[in-house]
Structure 1
Amino acid sequence: MTAIHLRAEDDAESRPGAVLSFPSRGMPARAPRSRLHLSPPSLVGGELAVLSRTLTDGWIAPAGPVPESFEQAIGEATTFNHVAAVASGTAALHLGYRVLGVERGDEVWTQSLTFVATIAPAVQMGARPRFLDVAAESWTMDPNVLESALQRAAQRGKLPRAVVPVDLYGQPCDLDAILTLCGRWGVPVLCDSAEAMGARYRDRAVGKGAALVAFSFNGNKIITAGGGGALASDDPALIARARHLASQAKEVAPHYQHETTGYSYGLSSVLAAVGLAQIGALSTRVAERRLVFERYVEGLGNLPGIGFMPEPAWARATRWLSVILIDPKVFGATREAVRRALDAANIESRPVWKPLHMQPAFRGARYDGGGLSGQFFEHGLCLPSGTMTAEEQARVVAVIRGCCKG
């Protein structure tokens, strides 16, 4: 499938398998022609046709055949039997908390190293967050930390209402270990896979086995609808309840009847049309992102003090974002110095998520585990990871190599 990239320049070197030529260490990068973004949207070429057909048929609202077709395509891509397409990944998480029965005063546990949207809906519902450290091998929820926390919670008779592991930057969490532990105490698992559609855990699609899984189609994701998300499950009752809440919880009646309140969380036909055109390219997009990561390893892997986000043997990450670790004592420059150098060269990069237990919004929330989340934030840097030409990626590598004083 031919990609239409949202940038002016393109060349044959952008094809998978092209070889990058990296400047020598210390050589300055050429003056940038345009800004390189972290994860810009990229079209696959069929969006306009699907949009035109949708509009010609008169479908705009979150109803009709296009959202249904998109949900079916999501199910086929993720192997979940039931899918509700909604307005955003955050909306999917919010609905997940609602259908799992989260109420004011309940505890909800997630890993600290994640984006705020993972826990924000639960907190807004009155739940109390608890943050767990991540494992070195995956940067996702540490099952050992989870086990200790669950044992202590069971002893005091205060188990969490839900545990929410995160497939960070497209890296699957160790879901089997988490499901085993949570199953021992009857705690449901809502998997935040917003960044990980297309990833594989062991022999199955990411999130498979959790009670519910949330996906995102935000503009920076591998598959985008320009917005939107989805809640998926193999339990039809959970998704039926989510659909009901997503459409203002309207009951079946000739008038507007409400037994509870819901939300306007439906995904419009317009956005669903974009997502429907995109999703067929999922496997290709994952392969492209993984190639970008491999090129960074090729270009930066021999530098002292540079490490990379690992990939456990039981996972196949999407590499939604390529992430490096910088040891300033060995590399000779801090993560922030490298970020500023990239910005000066018109290249966007971003520190790894600031752990939620360090965020002022969650001051006083409990944090379990060691300090890995904080270390990854201090030394981790997300690099441009979208569709790039070889020349563009070489620009990124050249700037980072030029920062090395080790």
Structure 2
Amino acid sequence: MKKDKIWLSPPHMGGNELEYVHNAFDTNWISQYGSNIDEFEHSLESYLGNNSHVTALSSGTAAIHLALRLLNVEEGDFVICQSFTFVASANPILYLKAVPVFVDSEAQTWNMCPDALEDAVRYCIQQGKKPKAIIAVCLYGMPFKAEEILQISKKYDIPVIEDSAEALGSKYKGQPCGTFGDLSVISFNGNKIITTAGGGVLISRNQEVKKRALFLATQGKDNEEFYNHSELGYNYRMDNIAAGIGRGQLETLEEKIIARRKNHDFYHELLKNNENIDLFSAPSTDFYSNYWLNTVILKNTLSKEILRDKFSQNNIETRYLWKPMHLQPLYKDCKFFGNNLSGTLFDTGLCLPSGTNLTNDCRNRISEVLENEIP
């Protein structure tokens, strides 16, 4: 008999989600207004601290788009973006007809390389246009080198959009991810550490920026008795039902972080003597990762296709690492700075099951594949 599927990172309910969803129905707030939205935002602001002002939106992609709008990115502007990421980090640049400039990873965190970033900034300035923004990503939950990236940001006076879509609960030197950028983004897609089914937030540093974000996210309606619109807005606000799910999920966030990190400990113990597989781990105690996804690099003769096929035969989901943006057909003509480390990672890497509801039986099945079927 075929065994149940082990998913890569499935949603995991915490217990009170349905209560908050029922409240939305009972009060008839089935819209983009209601107490769930307010409470979800306030709870996240309390969790993040550091003068965080949260706007709940329909997706992390919408949050990046709004961040670029808030920084007045326009057609023809340069925007520097980490290449090793999901396409949602970069696509909003094209929404505004701006010009993406991609930067490679460094080996310790797999995130934006500070040296390549500075090369990219200098290139843009030489072209006569300083970049309007830097989009730095906390990949797979791992914080980027915040001190070095922010130092370059300050040196050239270029704001940072922190894409912590995958990094809620991660920290750099004790400071929560989601609080480093001039504007920051977190995703609550169905596969994230907590979910609102779909959704995200934009985090700003002051209340006025939040007000502006909310204005743009609700169709840009002017403050009039009637529907008056003097500039382009969007239908980007999170709804009260999704926020209710988020409230319930947020109550169990710490438990979910512990569970994800426990998964990492499991893989570390399993693979510590394996000469063919390296587990991606935090480079030092400065980096506290939620280990949203556990990822490995394959060495010697072991290929990602072979390992993925072995897992698939055992009804276990895995996934290739993100294909870098500079290697995507959509972005093939964009400028890229770096040594293609991200391309090498894509060629040799794999994401392993990392859900917060991973059971001991699941771990045993994963162990069997890695110990018995891999040379």
- Same fold flag (TM > 0.5): yes
Counterpart of 2:351?
A: 382
Can you list the C-alpha shifts for 1:227-256, whole angstroms capped at 9, x where unaligned? 111000112222211100000000011111
Give the unaligned 5+ runs of structure 2.
none
Number of paired residues? 372
- Deviation of residue 300 (structure 1)? 2.0
**The residue matched to 2:371 in structure 1 has which SS?**
helix
Counterpart of 1:74?
A: 44
**The residue matched to 1:165 in structure 2 has which SS?**
strand
Can you list the C-alpha shifts for 1:90-134, whole angstroms capped at 9, x where unaligned? 111111111111111111111111000001011121011111111
- Deviation of residue 40 (structure 1)? 0.2
Give the Cα–Cα distance (whole angstroms) in 1 for the partners of residues 131 and 195 of structure 2: 33
Counterpart of 2:319?
A: 350
Q: CA RMSD in A?
A: 1.3
Question: Does the CA contact (< 8 Å) of 2:57 and 2:63 recur in 1?
Answer: yes
Can you list the C-alpha shifts for 1:149-198, whole angstroms capped at 9, x where unaligned? 22333344322110000000000111121111011111110000000011
Give the Cα–Cα distance (whole angstroms) in 2 for the partners of residues 86 and 56 of structure 1: 23
- What letter is aligned with 1:334? S
Give the Cα–Cα distance (whole angstroms) in 2 for the partners of residues 96 and 70 of structure 1: 20
Counterpart of 1:273?
A: 244
**The residue matched to 1:272 in structure 2 has which SS?**
helix
1:147 correspondence with 2:118: yes
Identity level (%): 37
Give the Cα–Cα distance (whole angstroms) in 2 for the partners of residues 301 and 381 of structure 1: 17
- Deviation of residue 333 (structure 1)? 2.4
Question: Does the CA contact (< 8 Å) of 1:139 and 1:168 recur in 2?
Answer: yes
**The residue matched to 2:13 in structure 1 has which SS?**
coil
1:318 correspondence with 2:287: no
Give the Cα–Cα distance (whole angstroms) in 2 for the partners of residues 362 and 155 of structure 1: 22
Counterpart of 1:40?
A: 10
Can you list the C-alpha shifts for 1:59-102, whole angstroms capped at 9, x where unaligned? 11011221011100111122243110000111111111111111
- Deviation of residue 32 (structure 1)? 5.1
Counterpart of 2:148?
A: 177
Question: Does the CA contact (< 8 Å) of 2:24 and 2:34 recur in 1?
Answer: no
Question: Does the CA contact (< 8 Å) of 1:175 and 1:207 recur in 2?
Answer: no
Counterpart of 1:199?
A: 170
Question: Does the CA contact (< 8 Å) of 1:303 and 1:404 recur in 2?
Answer: no
Counterpart of 1:288?
A: 259
Question: Does the CA contact (< 8 Å) of 1:111 and 1:134 recur in 2?
Answer: yes
Question: Does the CA contact (< 8 Å) of 1:51 and 1:274 recur in 2?
Answer: yes
Counterpart of 1:394?
A: 364
**The residue matched to 2:193 in structure 1 has which SS?**
coil
1:50 correspondence with 2:20: yes
Give the Cα–Cα distance (whole angstroms) in 1 for the partners of residues 232 and 213 of structure 2: 12
Higher mean Cα deviation, 309-318 or 239-248?
A: 309-318
Q: 2:329 aligns with which of 334, 344, 360?
A: 360
Give the Cα–Cα distance (whole angstroms) in 2 for the partners of residues 156 and 265 of structure 1: 34
Counterpart of 1:61?
A: 31
- What letter is aligned with 1:62? Q
- Deviation of residue 298 (structure 1)? 1.1
